[in-house]
Amino acid sequence: MTITVRGSSGDYRIRPLEPGEERAAFEVLGRALHRTVTDEYWARREGSFPAERRFGAFASGEPVGVTGSFATRLAVPGGKALPAAAVDGVAVRADHTRRGVLTALMAAQLADCARRGDVLAVLHASEATIYGRFGYGIASRGQSLRVAGASFRADAPSGGEVRLLGTAEAQELVPRLYAEMGLSRAGMIERREVWWSYARERLIGEHQVAVHSGPRGDDGFVLYRTEDLRTFDQPNLGAALTVGDLHAADTAAVAGLWRFLLRVDLVSEVRAPGRPLDDPLAAMLTDPRACAVTGLDDESWLRLVDVPAALAAREWGPGEPVVVEVADPQLPANSGRYRITPGGAEATTGAADLRTGPETLAMLYLGDRPPSALAAAGRLEVLNPAALPHADTLFATRVTPWCGTPF
């Protein structure tokens, strides 16, 4: 499948990447992200950048734009994990931007996802102004924590052991433990081999790895690195310890890992970017302000590729039935009215209570924000005001959504 897009200074051909074109396409990405692709760097990345599921935009036979995805499953409220495309490696070369190349790549990719049966697509955005127009919406947010001078309350969970692993052991154990612990929050994705092929070396190889064991065995891990903050003037500053990845089966394991991190010698502060909004740490401390929130940002952007399948698969809260009308010009098969009840959701011809597009639907889908908040912001058209409180309880979820996997 090739699409030709007319540009002011020539045509672009949008087509699937072919084997052998991976490195040239990766260099488009490298340049756009201000990174030099050396032979050594490409050797490390090659396994995570297959031609499969990748599209290129070609000008005079040369790649000038790229987008890709890897297949995964994403957990939705209620615990089901749906087929999803984890979109990554999106770039257009600087001398070809703002001519519609990304728009054409996104259209090709979304059509491909729909054909493959991906119910959802998910990405982490470099800028928050890019993806809404393609039907992606902020589906989970993350907070950055800075912890210093903290001590635990007497009633905080305790127990268990933490041990540090060597790199080889960690590279085997951490992927297995992540898979065994399962997708405990809506928004979490399966980490497939194509993801680990780079993360095993970069994430694990460049971090210290500690594993927590509770009564049932290994139940959490943390990856961290340190950066010396000491100066001649401030010899007691110690190091900043930054958490690169932390997943645990329960809050006792989270507490155990944090107790360990906060006891590491010669460390003056622990930084943990991108934690879930309901991270339990502050509530476990004698001084909750010892755990400061230093940032709050969008974390994952979701696109409902197959709206009927996505709505049918998630769990709904209590409430009177609500009919939501969706208008999706990019994937017209999604356009229609959906009757949502505590027992499920299905297409209907009944009168609509609420009307919106795919971006706002994605913002509601994992329960990150209530419909009333997005209606107040003007993103959701309210045709029947009496339905709004019911929509709030139907869309509400027990657990805060979070992806927790960088890609």
- Catalytic annotation on 338? no
Size, binding site for ligand ACO by CB under 6 A: 21
Minimum separation from the CB atom of position 193 to ligand ACO (A):
20
Minimum separation from the CB atom of position 10 to ligand ACO (A):
14
Q: Is 101 annotated as a binding residue?
A: yes
Pick the piece of the chain touching ligand ACO (CB under 6 A) from 10-18, 88-96, 308-316, 326-334: 88-96
Q: Which residue matches tokens 């994403």?
A: 74
Give the C-alpha separation, 28 to 46, whole Å. Answer: 14
Pairing mode of beta strands 120-123, 81-92: parallel
Binding residue (CB under 6 A) for ligand ACO from 17, 74, 85, 90: 90
Q: Give me the phi and psi of 317, to 5 degrees please.
A: -80, -170
DSSP codes of every residue in 70-115: EEEEEE-TTS-EEEEEEEEEEEE-GGG-SSSHHHHHHHHHHHHHHH
165's enclosing H/E stretch is strand 161-165
68 bridge partner residues: 88
- Catalytic annotation on 26? no
Give the C-alpha separation, 63 to 48, whole Å. Answer: 19
Give the C-alpha separation, 351 to 337, whole Å. Answer: 8
How far is residue 238 from each of residues 210, 267, 331, measured CA to CA in Å?
Answer: 20, 5, 53
Q: Is 127 annotated as a binding residue?
A: yes
Closer to ligand ACO by CB, 25 or 324: give it: 25
Pairing mode of beta strands 137-147, 267-276: antiparallel
Does position 213 bind ligand ACO by CB under 6 A? no
Q: Is 90 annotated as a binding residue?
A: yes
- Give, as ranges, the residues between 104 and 163 that touch ligand ACO (CB under 6 A): 123, 125-127, 129-130
Does position 97 bind ligand ACO by CB under 6 A? yes
Does position 10 bind ligand ACO by CB under 6 A? no
Q: Which of 49, 55, 70, 131 is catalytic?
A: 131
Give the C-alpha separation, 170 to 160, whole Å. Answer: 19
Give the C-alpha separation, 334 to 306, whole Å. Answer: 6
Binding residue (CB under 6 A) for ligand ACO from 91, 114, 147, 188: 91
Site pattern 31..70 for ligand ACO (x: CB under 6 A)? -xx-------------------------------------
Does position 6 bind ligand ACO by CB under 6 A? no
Pick the piece of the chain touching ligand ACO (CB under 6 A) from 94-102, 199-207, 240-248, 269-277: 94-102
Minimum separation from the CB atom of position 198 to ligand ACO (A):
14
List the binding residues for acetyl-CoA.
90-92, 98-103, 126-127
* Binding site residues, ligand ACO, CB under 6 A: 32-33, 87-92, 97-103, 123, 125-127, 129-130
